Amino acid sequence: MVKLKEMNPAENIQAMPDPPSLMASLKAGFDAITKHIWLILIPAVLDIFLWFGTRLSLADLIQKFLAEISAIPELQSTETADLIDAAGEIWTSIGESFNLFSALRSYPVGIPSLFAAGQPAGVPLTLSSNIEVTSPFAIIGFWLLFSAVGLFFGALYYHLVAQAAVADRIDWRLAIRQWPWSTFQVFLLALLWVALLMLIFIPGSCFLTLISMTGQPFGQVGLLVYATLVIWMLFPLLFSAHSIFINHHKMWVSVLDSIRVTRFTISKTALLFVLIFVVNEGLSVLWRVPEGSSWLLVIGVLGHAFIATGLLAASFVYYRAAYLWVQRKLAVAESSVIM
């Protein structure tokens, strides 16, 4: 603080680092992963497991539930029956492609996966088998267990990617030493996200139900307004995990860092996440073009692993540059006020 008082504000401004660059961050992130290409094996192994491993299916449970719904006398009218049949086809398709092991792709920290959103229709080898989960309590238990495992290994994955992106080297000893502490912070962060989502979606669902009762045009407008509000509320938290792995900050401090960084760099940060979403989701469609029974899907698995890991590394590069830039900008503003 003493040095800040003695420095000239003009000198402070000249000493400020450059603001974060999107293209430079993307290039640096993919360069880092290219130098440590083995990092893509972590998401690739998860996808190989989801592809070839045993699947915990909900198909029988969904079929039983749909049969019970169809048997309700009050829903036997022709119009209602048609709606139930249409919804039943959608839910049957979801049940056939859903795998409870996909919870290993945890949020907000986790290992990216190409197959977490839906399983391939088949496998090249007849190694996989289905286990039907018919108890709702078992579903909840498995989901919580696999999510916890995903957060645990996701914390290590984030450590390694952050080191490659920021330090340009992998320090296994440091990563292993910090792993338990960062895992605990990640668990706290996940609980915070769950609490926030419940606070947002429970009253939001009631609001949308009331709006939809007034008519379709009002329902669509209400849905648009609600979606915009949710994005506006959650956007400042998109970097909420980064400071845990880069600056070794506690969960709550990392959340505040994320809010501060996104507030000062809102336009560039918004563009960054739009680019990440478009590139990742757009290429995911390409990676899944081969059938599940084709070995060509291995190319998609490796391609997705490289792109997802590179984009994560780019986000770490961008966040570090943005964090330093914001910190320096605040220091300059503080020194100017003191002077």
Say what the pTM is. Answer: 0.85
Classify residue 57 as left (phi > 0), alpha (psi -120 to 50) or beta.
beta
> Exposed/middle/buried for 307, CB within 10 Å: 0-12, 13-18, 19+?
buried
Angle, alpha carbons 317-113-155 (nearest 5°): 55
Cβ atoms of residues 157 and 241 within 8 Å: no
Tokens of 120: 């391939």
3-state secondary structure of 55: strand
Ordered per-residue pLDDT tens for the chain, 339 residues: 333 333 344 444 445 666 789 999 999 999 999 999 999 999 999 999 999 888 888 877 777 776 766 666 655 555 555 666 666 666 666 666 788 999 999 999 999 999 988 777 777 776 667 888 888 888 899 999 999 999 999 999 999 999 999 999 999 999 999 999 999 999 999 999 999 988 888 777 776 666 666 655 655 666 677 777 788 888 999 999 999 999 999 999 999 999 999 999 999 999 999 999 999 999 999 999 888 788 899 999 999 999 999 999 999 999 999 999 999 888 877 776 665
Tokens coding 312 = 């994560």
Token pair 């698995």: residue: 301
Distance, in Å, from the CA atom of 103 to the CA atom of 28, rounded to the nearest integer, reads 30
Q: How far apart are CA 125 and CA 190, in angstroms?
A: 36
Q: Which residues contact 184 (CB under 8 A, 6 or more apart)?
A: none
* Residue 125 burial class via C-beta count within 10 angstroms: exposed 0-12, middle 13-18, buried 19 and up: exposed
Secondary element (H or E) of residue 56: strand 55-57
